[in-house]
Amino acid sequence: MQKLTRNDLYSLEQYAEKRAEFRAQIMAHKKNRRVPIGNHATLYFEDHLTMQYQIQEMLRIERIFEPAGIEEELAAYNPLIPDGDNWKATFMIEYGDVAERQAALAKLVEIENKVWIQIADTDRIWAIADEDLDRTSSDKTSAVHFLRFQLNAEQIAAVKANAEIGMGIDHINYKFENKPVAENIREALVAEIL
């Protein structure tokens, strides 16, 4: 997949004019990229468009307009764009109550390494977590992780043949399967594979 460059981004002034329309487009796009796994975990599959939005929002919030600052944001977010033979996702552990979330994070150490995707009856694809930065300590995990799911040739062929896709978590304190995922999710993920 093509990575973002400065030419793909709006200036702060252009983005201010287009933000409402662009935001509506992104929210509709993200509906086909969100996969809940149980009541407290969600995968948000990223792509070129979701990362453009993330960068635009960061530039807006931080009022970044200098070329060096823009390049820093591109360098931070471009690695989250899939490469054509993998899927990349933001994995979030979500609890509304702060105390409940803190207690859960202490029980879910290493959960980011227990997230999987399965295409038809091929082997499970285990997440490769946090390649940019370790987000887990010995006593708790983070509420946000960045995951990559690397597909092999057999899995790519199955995806292209419209095989069902399932996802889940196999952690001692959090087990859940979402099999198969909804058709709109499957279609969005298939479109990412070259």
pLDDT in tens, 43-56: 999 999 999 999 99
Q: What gap in Å lies between CA 170 and CA 91, rounded to an integer?
A: 14
Q: What gap in Å lies between CA 124 and CA 45, rounded to an integer?
A: 17
Element (H, E) at 160: helix 153-160
* 192 secondary structure, DSSP code: T
Burial (CB count within 10 angstroms: exposed 0-12, middle 13-18, buried 19+), residue 26: middle
Q: What gap in Å lies between CA 189 and CA 67, rounded to an integer?
A: 33
Q: What is the pTM of this model?
A: 0.92
Which contacts qualify for 17-21: CB closer than 8 Å, 24 or more apart?
19/56, 19/60
pLDDT in tens, 102-134: 999 999 999 999 999 999 999 999 999 987 666
Contact yes or no for 160/187 (Cβ under 8 A):
no
The mean pLDDT value for 3-8 works out to 95
Q: Show the CA angle centred on residue 39, arms to residues 38 and 42, nearest 5°.
A: 70
Please determine, for residue 61, whether its predicted confidence score (pLDDT) is greater than 80.
yes
Listed in order, the ranges of the chain carrying CATH 2.60.40 are 34-45+82-194
Give the model's pLDDT for residue 176. 97
Q: Which fold is adopted by the domain 34-45+82-194?
A: Immunoglobulin-like (2.60.40)
**Over 168-189, what HEC string results?**
EEEECCEEEEECCCCHHHHHHH
Tokens 């057999």 correspond to 154
Give the model's pLDDT for residue 135. 63
Tokens 């931070």 correspond to 76
Give the model's pLDDT for residue 1. 67
